[in-house]
Amino acid sequence: MITVRNRTLIVPEGERVIGTDYDNNSEVRQFRVEKAPGGIDISHLAFRLDLMYQGEIYDTCKLEKEEREDSMILAWTVAATNVAHPGTVWISLRAIDDAGTVKWGSNAAALYVQSSVNTPSHASGMTELEEYEKKMEDLLLKSEEAVSRANNATSKAETAIQTTTEAANTAQTAATSAGSSANLAEAWAHGKEGYTAQANDNAMFWSEQSRKRAETAKEQANLAKSYADSIAPLMDRGEYSSGTTYQENDLVKYQNAIWRCKIDGTASVPQEGKNWTLFFRGVQSINELVAADAQGLLGQAGAQQVNAQALIDAVAEKIATKLLLKSDVVSQLVNDATKAASSAAVYALQQKLGTGDLPNGMSDVVAGLVELNSNMNALTNSSISIPSGSPVTGNRVNAKIYQNSFLVLSGEVDIDFTNLKNWNVYNILQCSSGSKYTINFIATDENGGSYHMRIETNGITKLSIRGYIPENKSQILRFFCIAPLMPA
């Protein structure tokens, strides 16, 4: 992923080559951009990628944007037109809002397109071989479709035969059933040999049966109506008012109880009778609320039934004499006599004042602070020079040693690129102090170009030329590096 930092595109080594002149939509590059790199939110802007090839050939690509919490990911799918010209490709990001009032752009960075070997020249269509392969695929596809259509036709024919056979069987069954139904109908009306008669008049018998079932249905309907009335929606009318007329299923609150009205147009005071019925009765006193003492506040847990008033009295006594309010326990140390420190606050204080982790055998925090203040002033110089054969023509780099632990290089050098070759490494500076490990860092020139540099354990600082040599051969490279100091 390419990171954008202070408008500079930091391109990983493995992502500098974006493809060959034969590629098309086979590479993707992503750019990570902060939402507000300069203090202004630019996440709402539309982003483009501008490209410049050798010979001042220009191109522009639209980028897909994915927003994250504090950054944006811009995705670029490398199309055929983006790799049509082998060699160096200069890219830069550009963004603008809908009204054109906010604009933003990055510095330019160099990418590369490689030439492919013995492949057709770049074109929008397919090569002769690719067209031949496509025709063969089309012929195979058409053959498979013809076989599929033949199989479908055979399946439909078999289905039609099966459907015809089933229809014939259904017709035969229907004819047989119709004859049986005719005989049964005649037997029900007048009686017939082979059927059981009902008092020699089947029509009268079944008429009587229908009448009895109709009466039963009526009775069930009346029962259903009564049940429906009993579960009709209840209407909450609030507190009972003597000047109000109430309807059936109205609910009113009266003397700490809920009453349901039984008859429309009722204006009497709620009491059990033909107009009102008690729906719910509340407790008159908390002494009526009795339950098991599960916590054992008044004795053994669960051993006795106690009322709510007794439990409240017991809790009030404990609060007044034994308990500390949770709000009076604080997790931070404060100067307040009414507050108590929590165990977490005491532990944090112990960790801050502890001496077990102090270095160099320090016995207390004050000694550690004195030692730290002394170390902060321990900054010494280290000499730095230009070795023989270096392309450096001017050296303005400072080398400092901090606390006898770190080597800090900062400043700039003048470089003559006239005789430098691509993909080579050059010794440019010699420091009297070396790095404990080989440390890689980046230098930038006046045009925003970036270069890979590293400092070795012997104090040699090296410059790597990796595919990019500036047109202006006289450049100023600026850099900053912190490396662990090689022990003496």
Our count of domains for the chain comes to 3
Q: Is 409 a member of any domain?
A: yes
pLDDT of residue 195: 55
> Which residue has tokens 């089933």?
166
Q: Is 218 a member of any domain?
A: no
pLDDT in tens, 49-61: 999 998 889 999 9
The CATH number of whichever domain residue 254 belongs to comes to: 2.10.10.20
pLDDT of residue 120: 60
CA atoms within 13 A on the CB side of 119: 13
pLDDT of residue 336: 75
Q: Is 296 a member of any domain?
A: no
Max mean pLDDT among 193-197, 225-229, 271-275 falls in 271-275
3-state secondary structure the chain: CEEEECCEEECCHHHCEEEECCCCCCEEEEEEEECCCCCCCCCCCEEEEEEEECCCEEEEEECEEEECCCEEEEEEEECHHHHCCCEEEEEEEEEECCCCCCEEECCCEEEEEECCCCCCCCCCCCCHHHHHHHHHHHHHHHHHHHHHHHHHHHHHHHHHHHHHHHHHHHHHHHHHHHHHHHHHHHHHHHCCCCCCCCCCCHHHHHHHHHHHHHHHHHHHHHHHHHHHHHCCCCEEEEECCCCCCECCCEEEECCCEEEEECCCCECCCCCECCCEEEEEECCCCHHHCEEECCCCCCCCCCCCEEEHHHHHHHHHHHHHHCCCCHHHEECCCCCCCCCEECHHHHHHHHHHHCCCCCHHHCCCHHHHHHHHHHHHCCEEECCEECCCCCCEEEEEEEEEEECCCEEEEEEEEEEECCCCCCCEEEEEEEECCCECCCEEEEEECCCCCEEEEEECCCCEEEEEECCCCCCCCEEEEEEEEEEEECCC
Q: Is 244 a member of any domain?
A: yes
Q: Is 295 a member of any domain?
A: no
pLDDT of residue 355: 53
Question: Residue 281 — very low, low, confident or very high, per pLDDT cuts 50/70/90?
Answer: confident
Q: Return the percentage of the chain with pLDDT > 90, whole number.
A: 47
The CATH number of whichever domain residue 42 belongs to comes to: 2.60.40.10
Q: Is 104 a member of any domain?
A: yes
Q: Is the pLDDT of residue 183 over 70?
A: no
Q: Is 299 a member of any domain?
A: no
Question: Residue 359 — very low, low, confident or very high, per pLDDT cuts 50/70/90?
Answer: low
Lowest-pLDDT range of 126-130, 315-319, 350-354, 460-464: 126-130
Q: Give the integer Cα–Cα distance in Å for 87 and 78.
A: 15
Q: Is 240 a member of any domain?
A: yes
Domain boundary among 68, 96, 114: 114
Print the domain residue range for 250.
235-281
Max mean pLDDT among 5-19, 202-216, 367-381 falls in 5-19
Question: Mean per-residue pLDDT for 205-232?
Answer: 77
pLDDT of residue 181: 64
Q: Is the pLDDT of residue 341 over 80?
A: no
Q: Give the integer Cα–Cα distance in Å for 314 and 291.
A: 15
pLDDT of residue 474: 93
Shortest CA distance to 290 belongs to which of 304, 305, 272, 279?
305
Average pLDDT, the chain: 82
Q: Return the percentage of the chain with pLDDT > 70, whole number.
A: 76
Lowest-pLDDT range of 198-212, 341-355, 357-371: 357-371
Domain boundary among 114, 136, 163: 114
Question: Residue 259 — very low, low, confident or very high, per pLDDT cuts 50/70/90?
Answer: very high
The CATH number of whichever domain residue 471 belongs to comes to: 2.60.40
Domain boundary among 79, 114, 149: 114
Question: Residue 351 — very low, low, confident or very high, per pLDDT cuts 50/70/90?
Answer: low
